[in-house]
């Protein structure tokens, strides 16, 4: 992941201002430690901190068109850049960078080219011919981007808040799937899929189509010229990412920096659920597995640094970011610069445990739509900034545009959790990869129930955080929290503690407004309470709030049922047969 900073319309164009721009861009160097670049044009500045993943030798930024009248600074990866180059044969490319296509696409198609990009990206482009500029962010908001305004009338864009928070009077999180054009002076949505309207789809579930879409999403993200691996927690999502990647490396004879054996990484307290599960999956897939341990105290000691980097005070995000932050440092020490991760599956497929309470398919679907729209404030923010803090790039195949469109077009009747039919959460995904002839994963792993990441690294991690916060925040402090923090008032001592750290680094009202508001209730959503009032009694967003839903017995029963079917040839069902049976039941 790279770091970008762009400023337009600066009243001050002195050497001192240039030095200030370089200083602010330097705050993003953790995102791109490999090279720095700055382009100045009159009162406009485009700065870049590069993490070299594709074409490390010649892809330094900013990037240009042929006569350098179009300048672009990009954070991200364009997975279909080779196909796009075929559309641009009349253009001369100076580098092998996947991001250079953006400058030439703009020349060829104007501002309407963004939807042609398949990847994760935030970019700012300056057209010096008329001094117009555009900024855009990818469909889901996998890469971060902020937009700000200075008192001198200048407009700012930056990968992280820390690069503009001191110099801008107001700033916002740039909305995903949007483009800003200086010609119109406003934001408009460029990403307009069917699911965004939240209307219930009716496409029949085809497991083979879903499987193929996910495999394609994984393999296209193996575009790299540097060592890479997979973050493996042992849960369904990361295990499928690792399985598909491992299978691709074995079947394609692909030659990468670390050879054909896949490297996997896991973090946790000693004896944690994730470590045990990840080791089992790694042994099954025969990966080169790296297991990292941390202590509760080491995590607590890192909290200030974590909050500085992830730029939030959301409780669940900080709990999960800290182990990921510590793991990324270890991964970086091995020389790895890119990892694949499993974020997004729970939002798309309704994998959170409170989805058990969804009253009907319409509300189930609408909630998945809302969760995807908020990903840039939670899991995308965590995954990107926790890894980028150490110059590691996280790629997320579940958030592939094509995969999302296919998964979100499925009639949500198939996604509903129905234990009587043997359908636990994310059944459509588990079933799609339930291949008896050539198993992707063992049955009990494929049907293992969800463990929230912050719980999975060790239950004593969350307990330790709460205990530490209780020592830092008095009862009187929490009682008066609404006076100290009238906006997004913290309701627990842990939330109060994180807020105090955040305010130390980012004291402006604009900063605190970039964090999603409202009480931090079970599963971080009021929808859980609406579906079942009992959830309102627990203010802790941990997965353990799902009393009566998250049970080992339930998980074991589902796995045993799958194994029994596997051992009885006369009752064995193919993927197609299972779908046919389910369709009959639904009808």
CA distances from 435 to 151, 376, 383 (A): 60, 33, 30
Bridge partner list, 76: 121
* DSSP, residue by residue, 7-21: EES-S--SHHHHHHH
- Kindly report the number of other CB atoms within 10 A of residue 151's CB atom: 10
In 3D space, the residue among 258, 268, 182, 227 whose CA is nearest the CA of residue 452 turns out to be: 268
3-state secondary structure at position 425: coil
3-state secondary structure at position 292: strand
CA distances from 305 to 39, 49, 163 (A): 30, 20, 16
Q: Which residues, in sequence order, are CB contacts of 487 under 8 Å at separation 6+?
A: 509, 512, 513, 517
Provide the pairing of β-strand 44-50 with 63-64: unpaired
Helix extents (H) in 473-492: 475-479, 481-484
Q: Which residues, in sequence order, are CB contacts of 255 under 8 Å at separation 6+?
A: none
Whether 32 contacts 61, CB under 8 Å: no
At 102, phi and psi to the nearest 5?
-60, -45
- Kindly report the number of other CB atoms within 10 A of residue 283's CB atom: 10
Three-state SS string across 347-405, please? Answer: HHHCCCHHHHHCCCHHHHHHHHHHHHHCHHHCHHHHHHHHHHCCCCEEECHHHCHHHHH
Please pick, among 2, 168, 380, 523, the residue that the annotation labels catalytic: 2
Q: What angle do CA 172, 137, 452 make, to 5 degrees?
A: 80
- Specify whether 168 is catalytic: no
Q: Which amino acids are annotated catalytic?
A: 2
């Amino acid at each position: 992941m790279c770091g970008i900073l762009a400023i337009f319309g600066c009243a001050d164009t002195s050497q001192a201002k240039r030095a200030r721009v370089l200083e602010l861009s330097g705050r993003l160097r953790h995102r791109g430690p490999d090279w720095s670049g700055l382009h100045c044009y009159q009162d406009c500045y485009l700065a870049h901190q590069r993490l070299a993943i594709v074409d490390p030798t010649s892809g330094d930024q900013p990037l240009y068109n042929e006569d350098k009248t179009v300048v672009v600074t990009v954070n991200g990866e364009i997975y279909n850049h080779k196909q796009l180059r075929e559309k641009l044969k009349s253009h001369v490319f100076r580098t092998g960078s996947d991001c250079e296509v953006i400058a030439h696409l703009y020349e060829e198609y104007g501002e309407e080219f963004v939807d042609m990009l398949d990847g994760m990206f935030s970019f700012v482009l300056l057209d010096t011919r008329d001094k117009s500029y555009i900024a855009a962010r990818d469909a889901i908001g996998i890469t971060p981007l902020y937009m700000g305004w200075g008192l001198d009338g200048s407009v700012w864009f930056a990968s992280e808040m820390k690069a503009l928070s001191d110099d801008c009077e107001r700033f916002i999180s740039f909305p995903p799937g949007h483009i800003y054009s200086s010609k119109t002076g406003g934001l408009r949505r460029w990403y307009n899929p069917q699911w965004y309207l939240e209307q219930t789809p009716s496409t029949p579930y085809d497991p083979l189509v879903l499987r193929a879409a996910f495999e394609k999403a994984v393999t296209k993200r193996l575009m790299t010229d540097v060592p890479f691996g997979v973050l493996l927690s042992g849960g369904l999502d990361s295990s499928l990412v690792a399985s598909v990647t491992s299978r691709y490396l074995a079947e394609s004879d692909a030659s990468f920096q670390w050879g054909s054996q896949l490297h996997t990484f896991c973090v946790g307290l000693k004896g944690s659920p994730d470590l045990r599960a990840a080791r089992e999956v790694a042994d099954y897939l025969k990966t080169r597995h790296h297991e990292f341990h941390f202590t509760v105290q080491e995590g607590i000691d890192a909290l200030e640094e974590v909050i500085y980097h992830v730029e939030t005070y959301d409780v669940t995000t900080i709990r999960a970011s800290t182990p990921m932050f510590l793991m990324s440092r270890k991964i970086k020490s091995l020389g790895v610069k890119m990892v694949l991760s499993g974020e997004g599956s729970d939002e798309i497929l309704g994998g959170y445990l409170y989805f058990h309470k969804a009253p009907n398919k319409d509300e189930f679907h609408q909630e998945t739509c809302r969760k995807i729209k908020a990903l840039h404030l939670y899991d995308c923010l965590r995954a990107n900034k926790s890894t980028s803090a150490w110059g590691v790039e996280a790629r997320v195949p579940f958030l592939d545009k094509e995969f999302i469109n296919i998964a979100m077009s499925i009639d949500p009747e198939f996604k509903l959790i129905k234990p009587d039919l043997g359908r636990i959460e994310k059944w459509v995904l588990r079933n799609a990869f339930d291949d008896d002839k050539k198993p992707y994963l063992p049955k009990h792993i494929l049907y293992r129930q969800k463990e929230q990441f912050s719980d999975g690294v060790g239950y004593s991690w969350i307990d330790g955080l709460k205990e530490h916060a209780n020592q830092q925040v008095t009862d009187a402090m929490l009682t008066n929290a609404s006076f100290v923090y009238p906006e997004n008032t913290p309701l627990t001592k842990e939330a109060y503690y994180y807020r105090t750290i955040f305010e130390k680094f980012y004291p402006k009202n604009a900063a605190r407004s970039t964090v999603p508001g409202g009480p931090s209730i079970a599963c971080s959503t009021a929808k859980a309470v609406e579906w079942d009032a009992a959830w309102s009694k627990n203010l802790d967003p941990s997965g353990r709030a799902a009393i009566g839903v998250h049970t080992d017995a339930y998980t074991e029963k589902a796995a045993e049922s799958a194994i029994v079917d596997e051992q009885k040839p006369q009752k064995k069902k193919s993927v197609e047969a299972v779908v046919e049976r389910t369709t009959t039941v639904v009808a």
